[in-house]
Copies of this chain bind each other. A is one copy, B any other.
Amino acid sequence: MRNVTSETLTDLLLNLSGPDTDPRVQEVLGALVKHLHAFATEVGLTHSEWRKGLELLTRAGEISDAERNEFVLLSDVLGLSSLVDMINSPDDCTSSSVLGPFHVLGAPQLPVGGDLIGDNAGQQVVVQGVVRDQAGAPIEGAVIELWQTADNGLYSGQDATQPDYNLRMAMTTGADGRYAVSTIRPTPYLVPTDGPAGDILNATGRHAWRPSHLHFIIEAAGYRSLVTEVFPSDDPYLDEDAVFGVREDLVMEFQPGTRAALPADIEARDRLDEGFSSVEFDFVLPPA
């Protein structure tokens, strides 16, 4: 292949794949190589720009550790994470949205109606709803994980002042598919801007704000797992999310709550602040 040229390189490379190459690997890698080459050719990528790109990836590796993955954040700010969510979300189910870097395994199990407020400051809210299938039937035994920021905009794990697993829970639905939890309102926050993803935001004059949100993962036997986020309808950054996570169907309405209207299983019912809010939000899962 000493006679390779910029016109023949892409096909030559892809034709090197051996006969045992998995067809899907060949398809995905083939498309990746084609687009990578087309990108470099279209813009006439210089050596200096190529080196800057490699330096960016190298720095992303250096700044990443067990608690922070800059490659995920790059995928987020470049819209790839949300695009993958959109491509894989069936139309008539709850949209998926970015997982983000703050999920941790092992959150404590709460009963339906359990409380996450504990000693947390912030606007109190009761969030409840039903996990359903596409026909509207409740799903029994769905496991719901929830995690969110404290009132200071930080997740436990980022913030030494919060107890382990603060504002994180898992909850299993009963036959009625219902979940319910008392918690506090999440807060908008800035994604980290001290790495390459921040450099991209800065270079293009974009801000780093994410609208406030509750993260959810919902898993149930026989259904596809749902990774998503739910956003208060009055958040100022709802239409400016730095990572493009908001969807119409993921917006939740905060309503004024009244204790008398709460179900009996809301553990914190009698100690909620006057002026607490109430949110109803159902999840619809596609079959596996």
Seen from chain A, the residues whose Cβ lies within 8 Å of a Cβ on chain B are 1-6, 9-10, 12-13, 16-22, 25-29, 31-47, 49-50, 54, 57-58, 60-62, 64, 69, 71-72, 75, 78-88, 200, 203-206, 227, 231, 238-241, 244, 246-248, 250-251
In the complex, the answer to whether B40 meets A84 with C-beta atoms within 8 Å is yes
Establish whether residues B75 and A50, one from each chain, have CB atoms under 8 Å apart when the complex forms.
yes
Contacts of A204 in B (CB 8 A): 16-18, 21, 25-26, 29
Known pairs A10-B79, A83-B41, A248-B2; A203 contacts B21 (CB<8 A): yes
Q: Contacts A6-B83, A37-B80, A88-B46 given; indicate if A205 touches B60 (C-beta within 8 A).
A: no
The answer on a CB contact under 8 Å between A247 and B43 is no
Chain B residues lying within 8 Å of A87, measured Cβ to Cβ, are 6, 40-41, 44-45
A206: chain B residues at CB < 8 Å are 16-18
In the docked arrangement, what's the CA distance between A203 and B83, Å?
26
A62 CB contacts on chain B under 8 angstroms: 61
Q: List B contacts of A241 (CB < 8 A).
A: 1
A251: chain B residues at CB < 8 Å are 2
Query: Which residue of chain B has the shortest Cβ distance to A78 in the bound complex?
Result: B33
Using CB atoms, name the residue of chain B closest to A18.
B205
Interface-central residue, A2, A17, A33, A231, by most chain B CB under 10 Å: A2
B36 near A31: Cβ-Cβ < 8 Å: no
> Which B residue's beta carbon lies closest to that of A17?
B204
Chain A, interface SS category: helix
**Whole-angstrom distance between the Cβ of A10 and the nearest chain B Cβ:** 7
Chain B residues, Cβ within 8 Å of A49 = 28
Choose among B13, B18, B80 the residue that contacts A78 (Cβ–Cβ < 8 A): B13
**Complex interface: chain B residues within 8 A of A13 (CB):** 78-79, 244
CB proximity of A77 to chain B, nearest CB, Å? 9
Residues of B within 8 A of A75 (CB): 50, 54
10 closest A-B pairs by beta carbon, nearest first, are A61-B61, A18-B205, A35-B35, A6-B86, A17-B204, A35-B39, A2-B246, A57-B71, A13-B79, A50-B84
Point out the residue from B26, B43, B61 that lies within 8 Å of A27, measured CB to CB. Answer: B43
Known: A4-B86, A10-B79, A34-B39. 16 other contacts (CB 8 A): A2-B247, A2-B251, A9-B83, A9-B244, A19-B205, A28-B43, A29-B204, A31-B43, A35-B36, A37-B79, A44-B88, A50-B81, A54-B72, A54-B75, A58-B64, A61-B64
A42's nearest neighbour on chain B, judged by CB, is: B31
Q: Which of B47, B71, B203 contacts A88 (CB 8 A)?
A: B47
